[in-house]
Amino acid sequence: MIKRAFECFRQLNINCVAFLAVLPLFVFTFMFVIGPLIYMLVLSFLQRAEVWGIVNKFTFKNYMDIFEPVYLKTFIESFKLAITTTILIMIIGYPFGYFMAKLDAKWKKRMMLLIFIPFWTSSLIRLYGWIIIFRANGILDKLLMALNITEEPLKLLYTYPAVVVGMIYVLLPFMIFSVYSSAEKLDWSLVEAARDLGASSMQAFFTISLKLTLPGLLSGVVLTFIPSMGLFFIADILGGNKVVLVGNLIQEQLMKAHNWPFAAALSVVLMILTSVMIYIYRRISNVKELEGLV
Amino acid sequence: MKNNTRLANIYLGFILALMYLPIIIVIVYSFNSSKISSVWGGFSFKWYKELLRDKSMFDAVVNSLILASTSSILAAIIGTLAAVGMPKVNLPGKGVVEYLSTLPIMIPEIILGMVFLTYFSLIRLPFGMLTLVIAHTSFCIPYVYMLVKARLVGIDKSLAEAAKDLGASEIRVFFDITLPLILPAILSGMLLSFAMSLDDVVISIFVTGVNTNTLPIKIYTQLRTGVTPKINALSTLMLGANLLICLLSVWIGKQGSHHKEYLEMEGN
Amino acid sequence: MKKTFVMVLIFALCASLLVGCGGSSKVQDNENTASQDTQLNLFTWEGMFPQEVLDEFTAETGIAINYSNFDFNETMLAKLQTAKGGDYDLVIADDYIIETVIAEGLAQKLDKSKLENYGNINPIYQSQFYDPENEYTVPYGAGIQTIVYDPDLVNIDISGYADLWDSSLKNSIGIIGNYRVINGLALKVLGESYNTEDISKIQAAGEKLLELAPNIRLIKDDNLQDDLLTGEITVGVMYTSQVTMAKLANPNLKIVFPSEGIGFGIMAGFIPSNAPHPDAAHKFIDYILRPEVSAKCFEWLGYYCTNKAAEEYISKEYKDFLTLPTDFSSDMEMIQRVGAEAEEAHAKIWTEFKSAIGK
């Protein structure tokens, strides 16, 4: 590989330039991703020590333990939450990214900054903001009661909807940015042409715009689905820890039960399941261009 | 057609307002003299004074900013180059590497942090900014990569080919044609990376060194004694600084464009 | 053009790596002065000391404090192990983990000749399981498991853990996420020890806990006092610092020492085996053992004061929560580590319990 790199410096033909371009990713992945992955894989087949650490003995027990109903349920819960969140984010985020791409250049930039600025505040602190909004007799309750929509406090905090709102809030920008960067290159003259030919704005959207922004939408789905599988602190903070997710279980096994191998096995399974989900999704949506994404 | 309908603009405004709602609450509560958020103890600058005395908090902010900008730039470079080069390169197992490079975002952070800790000590990297940057870059690359890749789909290949036919080199084509076209995606990816790096705590706690506390670490490790409004005060200051920079850049932009208009008029 | 591109690429990569190295090399700089330490690497949770106490120490001794943080005790141990007992000079963590730290040989014995104020420590909090001979540790705060409730909103008189099962408390209890404490609460109701290794007894406690599930509104480690104060919950089983904050904000709240027996935990400081600045660590320990300084720390921290001499300096407002009542019976038990099998049983009944609450 090194030899080839040197060759490329001298020749710089097409294939070699491309080779140089992917080289950093290859080197980085080989040095810093594969190593830790192998360690995790090995760990998942070892035994835990009585109090702290691991014993170098091969076992399948960690994987067998996952089949206990109580642990299987956490996988189902995680999927349920991830899918609910992803669908809602798609519904909310797609129009946002799409409309954003239609703004004029000046506003596009401003919009990007406006979406980005809240990130300067730690997500924990922002979620505390939501707690204050959702709290019994909090801002939301007072507003709803003032508008005569509800008559008594809703007790929304520490419920499933509160968790979903929190998840959407944290992950929405992934969808927005993804759809935006794909819709931004849309050739609007095509849409206009369709309109001139008598298509309604809806028809024009479905035949042209949607089709052309599909890659952005699809990668947005992948970008929101993956993190939503592992996120659990939102469920802890806004859901009162009542939804048990895989991420949660892994943390407890690692940090409280000191069972690292089991935590590693759970992570391996989660990683494989996520990959499979994305693979199936890619097959269903049948987008060739996303091939190799996962 | 290109312009939004009024309804669309209202939608954008509404969602944006929702995004800012918790932020406004954070700001309001930074002036709360009570230590706990359920009690409004009256308006005060107490937490700002406390904050100014805490030098370690500012060190943490600086560390976080260095870390977030370094790893988002690194991720942008590695991710973009790879996304552009991957379809053209002819290497065995490139699909596998592509898949492997996205795995860091599929593994729960806490175990990733733990295996990074062991792995880095195994290859004898000193814990500190270096290990932080490596770990953060690893989970930022996939985002840049995916966004750029999605943007590259359907980009008019004829344009690049025409340029090549006219004798432009591959690199020239990249800089003059491809790069401007994928720039919004790179920028989006970088912003997301920056934001995620700025917010990461679980991995950071494991791979940080003695002198490199980051801001999220300081916030999350307060749980034992309770998060104080000092953090709200800090967040407010950071938001303020941000806003100032944005306004300033808008203002400078305006000055610039006035200047340009003026020049153009002179030219005429 | 081609070459510039390649150069830019390589330069960018190198530059960012260099920036990284620059940051981390700072660590090694300050290891030359062993006898005249100018720095102290403190490793504990954030917010364990009031800022003025840290500032005054630096002003007095010229030793700069470098405060690093961890979230879980386990993270601390993993990092300390990786550093082979080095990097950090003083660690403050929970009792059970210190037992493991000492067993792994990662702590060094204290040089008590350097600790003039050692005698100020309240002996109740000494000679515990993790350091029976008091060779390695100095306690810094104790937590006592109590029940806090709002008598205006609760119709029954709560005197022990068993009352939490009362049907009138449906969906109104908030608990912390420490499963040994919560599972232990069920064990106590069944008359068992916190530290039983009998799996069937742990499972029985799990069954008992499932009956408690309908009464639990939330499980949360951080800022649980807020929920009690806003009426989101009416009864809480929470950390001592949270109890202190809640009671200060609402003096009407009632604190109950459960009749089934009292569980408590101690946070303690120790010096890692290869600490770069052990002298500075000793100086700091001695400094925070001074009665006046100690009193300030505990008023800030809100945990029970482990410094006997400091008690008279604690203001009246805080005294009731930071010192034990004089008629306090010593029927207390500490939560210790249990064997792997028992630990896993605990983890499992806890997960089952949480899923049951979600329903």
Domains of chain A as residue ranges with CATH: 66-290 (1.10.3720.10)
**Terminal-residue alpha carbon distance, chain A:** 25
**Terminal-residue alpha carbon distance, chain C:** 65
- C40 to chain B: closest CA residue: B210
pLDDT for A141: 82
Low-confidence ranges of chain B (pLDDT < 50): 1, 262-268
Report whether C139 contacts C133 (CB < 8 A). Answer: no
pLDDT for C24: 39
Distances (CA, A) of B180 to B5, B158, B176: 28, 16, 7
Q: CA of C350, closest CA in chain A: separation in Å?
A: 10
Q: Does C4 have pLDDT greater than 50? A: no
Q: CA of B1, closest CA in chain A: separation in Å?
A: 6
Mean pLDDT for A178-202 is: 83
Instruction: Tell me whether strands C64-69 and C39-44 are parallel, antiparallel or unpaired.
Output: parallel
Question: Residues 6 or more apart from C252 whose CB is under 8 A from it?
Answer: C150, C151, C152
CA–CA dist A122, B234 (Å, integer): 10
Q: CA of A39, closest CA in chain B: separation in Å?
A: 7
Full-model pTM: 0.86
pLDDT for C1: 40
Question: Residue C352: its chain A contacts at CB < 8 A?
Answer: 70
- Element holding B28 (H helix, E strand): helix B6-29
Most confident of A146-160, A183-197, B170-184, C336-350: C336-350
CA–CA dist B205, B214 (Å, integer): 9
- Cβ–Cβ gap C6/A258 under 8 Å: no
On whether any CB of chain B is under 8 Å from the CB of C225, the answer is yes
Least confident of A281-290, B242-251, C77-86, C103-112: A281-290
Domain ranges of chain B: 1-30+230-268, 55-227
Mean pLDDT for A51-78 is: 91
Mean pLDDT for C202-208 is: 96
In 3D, which of A15, A5, C1 has the Cα closest to residue B175? C1
pLDDT for C5: 43
pLDDT for C35: 53
pLDDT for C30: 43
User: Start-end ranges of CATH 3.40.190.10 in chain C?
Assistant: 35-142+265-322, 144-264+327-358
On whether any CB of chain B is under 8 Å from the CB of A137, the answer is no
pLDDT for C32: 45
Q: How many CB pairs under 8 A join A and B?
A: 296
pLDDT tens digits, B134-178: 999 999 999 899 889 888 876 766 777 777 777 777 778 788 888
pLDDT for A293: 43
pLDDT tens digits, B9-27: 999 999 999 999 999 998 9
On whether any CB of chain A is under 8 Å from the CB of B56, the answer is no
CA–CA dist A248, A81 (Å, integer): 13
pLDDT for A80: 94
- Cβ–Cβ gap B242/A117 under 8 Å: yes
pLDDT for C331: 73
Question: Residue B81: its chain C contacts at CB < 8 A?
Answer: 9
Task: Name the average pLDDT for chain C.
Answer: 87
Q: What is the CATH architecture assignment of C35-142+265-322?
A: 3-Layer(aba) Sandwich (3.40)
- Cβ–Cβ gap A257/C343 under 8 Å: yes
Q: Does C29 have pLDDT greater than 70? A: no
In this structure, what are the phi and psi dihedrals at residue C237, rounded to the nearest 5 degrees?
-115, 105
pLDDT for A113: 84
Residue from A8, A88, A122, A133 to probe the interface with B (highest B Cβ count within 10 Å): A122
Least confident of A34-43, A285-294, C76-85, C123-132: A285-294
Confidence category of residue C276, pLDDT binned at 50, 70, 90:
very high
pLDDT for A104: 87
Question: Residue B228: its chain C contacts at CB < 8 A?
Answer: 47
Q: Does C18 have pLDDT greater than 80? A: no
On whether any CB of chain B is under 8 Å from the CB of C55, the answer is yes
On whether any CB of chain B is under 8 Å from the CB of C75, the answer is yes
Least confident of A118-127, A278-287, B20-29, C239-248: A278-287
- C74 to chain A: closest CA residue: A255
On whether any CB of chain B is under 8 Å from the CB of C17, the answer is yes
Instruction: Tell me whether strands C173-175 and C332-334 are parallel, antiparallel or unpaired.
Output: unpaired
Neighbouring chains to B with at least 3 Cβ pairs closer than 8 Å: A, C
- Cβ–Cβ gap C229/B224 under 8 Å: no
pLDDT for C358: 76
CA–CA dist A172, C176 (Å, integer): 30
C interface with A, Cβ–Cβ below 8 Å:
2, 6, 9, 13, 72, 74-75, 77, 100, 103-104, 174, 177-180, 217-220, 222-223, 226, 230-232, 337, 339-340, 343-344, 346-348, 350-352, 354-355, 357-358
Across the interface, of B84, B149, B239, the residue whose CB is closest to A120 is B239
- Residue type (1 letter), C335: I
* Residue predicted with more confidence, A246 or B157: A246
Most confident of A27-36, B245-254, C312-321: A27-36
For residue C125, how many other CB atoms are within 10 A of its CB?
22
- Cβ–Cβ gap C26/B128 under 8 Å: yes
In 3D, which of A28, C20, C16, A14 has the Cα closest to residue B145? A28
Task: Name the average pLDDT for chain A.
Answer: 86
Across the interface, of C48, C68, C245, the residue whose CB is closest to B210 is C68
On whether any CB of chain B is under 8 Å from the CB of A142, the answer is no
User: The domain B55-227: what is its CATH number?
Assistant: 1.10.3720.10
Mean pLDDT for A232-258 is: 89
Residue from A19, A42, A120 to probe the interface with B (highest B Cβ count within 10 Å): A120
What CATH superfamily is the domain C144-264+327-358? Answer: Periplasmic binding protein-like II (3.40.190.10)
Confidence category of residue A110, pLDDT binned at 50, 70, 90:
confident
Most confident of A121-130, B239-248, C67-76, C270-279: C270-279
Q: Residues 225..254 of B with a Cβ closer than 8 Å to A: which?
A: 227, 231-232, 235, 238-239, 242-243, 246, 250
Mean pLDDT for C237-249 is: 90
Burial of A171 (0-12, 13-18, 19+ CB in 10 A): buried
Confidence category of residue C6, pLDDT binned at 50, 70, 90:
very low
Mean pLDDT for C278-285 is: 96
pLDDT for A10: 59
pLDDT for A7: 66
In 3D, which of A167, A157, A160 has the Cα closest to residue A231? A167
pLDDT for A182: 84
On whether any CB of chain A is under 8 Å from the CB of B124, the answer is no
